[in-house]
Amino acid sequence: MKNIVLICMITMFLYSCEEDAQITIQNKVHNATLMQISWDDYAISSTLLPGQKSKECNVVGRKEDFPKSSIVKFYMIRGENQVYLETKYPFTLDAGQNLLIVISDTASVVNPLTTQ
């Protein structure tokens, strides 16, 4: 019985140390679909049509893991053309934050395969 109480106390302590935050991405690129969208190691959305927003992606970590910062990676498809892109600058997410990242026609993006 003492072991069960000890395990419950340790579990509660570890759980109370966790923080969370949310990320949503919106596609505001005209006439283009964004696919396989990710931020850090989190898959945000498989497909976003123009104007669409992703569902909230819950990012969980220890308090000392925040703030987290990463670029957004995705494929952009327009007609028959497809290109892999990454945002030029990282987006930072802090604990408790609900971050909306908008990818628009004027977003600073690069294709890492052509910038080497």
Cβ atoms within 10 Å, residue 76: 19
- At residue 106, does pLDDT exceed 70? yes
63: which 2 tokens?
Answer: 């308090």
* Contact between 42 and 78 (Cβ < 8 Å): no
Confidence of residue 63 (pLDDT cuts 50, 70, 90): confident
- At residue 2, does pLDDT exceed 80? no
* Contact between 44 and 68 (Cβ < 8 Å): no
Cα angle 11, 15, 16 (rounded to 5 degrees) comes to: 120
Query: pLDDT at position 7, please?
Result: 64
- Length of the chain measured in residues: 116
